[in-house]
Amino acid sequence: MKTEREVGSAVSQDKLWNAMHRYDPKGKNTIAASGEGSWFVDEKGNKYLDGVSGLWCLNLGHGRQEIIDAAAEQMKSLSYFPLTMSHQPAVKLAGKISELLGADYQTFFSNSGSEANETAFKIAKQYHIQTGNPGKYKIISRYRAYHGSTLGALSATAQANRRVKYPSAPGFLHVYPPYSYRSIFNGSPEETDLKAAQLVEEMINWEGEETVSAFIMEPFISGGGVLIPSMKYIQRVAEICKKYNVLLIMDEVVSGYGRTGKMFGFMHAEGVQPDIVTMAKGLTSGYLPLGATAVKSEIYDVFKEQGKDNHFRHVSTYGGHPAACAVALKNIEIIEKEKIIDRVDRLGKSKLSKFKQLEEHENVGKVRQVGFLIGLEMVTDKKFKTPLDDATIGKVLGGCKKRGLIIGKNGDTVPGKNNVIIIAPPLSSTEEDLDFVVNTVTSVIHSL
C-alpha cells in the first residue's frame, strides 16, 4: 500500500502543470521537499547539489536565517504598501542599487526579470517621446538572447525554439551575436566580436536612427549558451548606442549581484555605464520575487517635470513589495559582508577553471566560463562542430543526477539544438561543493 506521502505527492504532480511536462508526461519529476545551503532533498529523501542555483537565482543557497528573519520582521511591521506611494525598504534599496551601480540611478520595482525588461522598453520609448523623438520605438536585441516570457520580453528574446509559436510584438529587431566559436566572420575572437558589434551600427543605419529606441543586451548571453564576448564588444556597442541616441539597456537578471565575479557583469567592460540596468534573480537570491529597472537620473528627470502629462503610466500591485525589498537589502548586506564577489572571482579562477581541461575530451568543443557561470559546448566532432545529440547530452545530465548533481542545458546553437551544458552553482557553495561539481561532471563526461 502507498504511504500517505506517496499518495499526496502523486496527486499533486498529476495536477501540476509545470514547465517540465513536455519532458516528463508521466510525472516522474523531482519534487523538492527541503533545502540547505547548495543542496536540496527530494520527497524520497535523495540529496542533490543544485548546480544551476534553481534558475540561476539561488545565489546564497537555502536556509539563510538572516534573510528569513528580514522577510518576517518586515511583514510584521508593514505587510504591504503600494509604490504608487512609497515605503522605507524600497527607498533604501533604490539608494543602495544606485550606489552599487556606480552612478546616479532611479529605480522602478516590479516582480521579475521579464517585467523589469518590459518596464525598461516602456521607459525608453516614453523617454524618446518626451525628448522630441517620438519616432524612436524599435528595440534591438541579439539572436540567442533570452529576455523573458511576457510579450515584449519574449519579442526581444531571439531563440528560434522559444519564438516559433508566438508572434513577435511590432518593432523588435534582432542582430547577430558575438559568438566567436561559430562566428560567420573570420579572425580572432576579438576581431569577430568587433565585427558583430559593427552589425549593430549597420542595423541602426539601415533602420534609420530616428526609429531606434534602445538596444538590450546581457553582458554574457546566459540562456543562449553562455557566450562570453570580448569586453571590447561591449565597449563598442556602448559607443554606437551613444552615437545614435539609442538607450543601452543592460539585462543583469542573471549576471547581476556577483554571478560573474563583479557586482554587475557590465563592470568587466571598463568605462561602460548603461542607461538602464534591469535585474531580478540574484537581487533577492530567489528568496522572494523582485524585479528592478534602474535608469540613469538624466532619463528619470524627463519624467518628473511638474505640470505636464509626462509621468510614467505603469503600476505594479506587488512590484517592490516591502518584504521583497527587505530581503534584497539583507541579501546585498550578506554579499558585501561575506565578500561574495571576491570569493566568486577567486574560486572561479582556482576551482571552476578546471572545467577548461575538459576541452581535451572529443565531445567538448568549447568551455566558456566567467566566475560561477559555465557553459560546455558539446559537439560530435571538433572539426565540423556538429552539435551533440540530445540523447548523449541527456546521458550527461542523467549521469550527474544519479551521482547527486543537478545541471542543465541550453544553447539554441542551431535552432532547437540545446547542446550547451550549463553549470552555475550557488555563489556561497563550499569549496568541497565546487570540487564535487567539477569532479562529477568531469567523470560523467569521461564515461561517455
Alpha helix positions (H), 315-423? 322-337, 340-350, 390-402
Q: Which residues pair with 48 in a beta bridge?
A: 40
Whole-number Å distance between alpha carbons of 48 and 29: 14
Q: How far is the CB of 297 from ligand PMP (least distance, A)?
A: 24
Q: How far is the CB of 251 from ligand PMP (least distance, A)?
A: 5
Residue 396 corresponds to which cell in the numbers above? Answer: 550527461
Q: How far is the CB of 357 from ligand PMP (least distance, A)?
A: 28
Contact 332, 96 (CB under 8 A): yes
Pick the closer one to ligand PMP by CB: 9 or 110. Answer: 110
In the bound state, the residue with its beta carbon closest to ligand PMP is 113
Residue 49 corresponds to which cell in the numbers above? Answer: 547539489
Q: How many CA atoms lie within 13 A of 157 on its CB side?
A: 26
Whole-number Å distance between alpha carbons of 91 and 96: 9
The closest alpha carbon to 355, from 340, 375, 380, 385, belongs to 375
Pick the closer one to ligand PMP by CB: 224 or 387. Answer: 224
Pick the closer one to ligand PMP by CB: 54 or 379. Answer: 54
Q: How far is the CB of 242 from ligand PMP (least distance, A)?
A: 23
Pick the closer one to ligand PMP by CB: 112 or 428. Answer: 112
Contact 348, 261 (CB under 8 A): yes
Pick the closer one to ligand PMP by CB: 52 or 364. Answer: 52
Angle at 183 between CA 182 and CA 188, to 5 degrees: 105
291 Ramachandran zone, left/alpha/beta (phi>0; psi -120 to 50): beta
Q: How far is the CB of 154 from ligand PMP (least distance, A)?
A: 10
Q: How far is the CB of 22 from ligand PMP (least distance, A)?
A: 17
Pick the closer one to ligand PMP by CB: 223 or 411. Answer: 223
Q: Interface with ligand PMP by CB under 6 A: which residues? A: 55, 112-114, 117, 146-149, 218, 222-223, 251, 253-254, 280
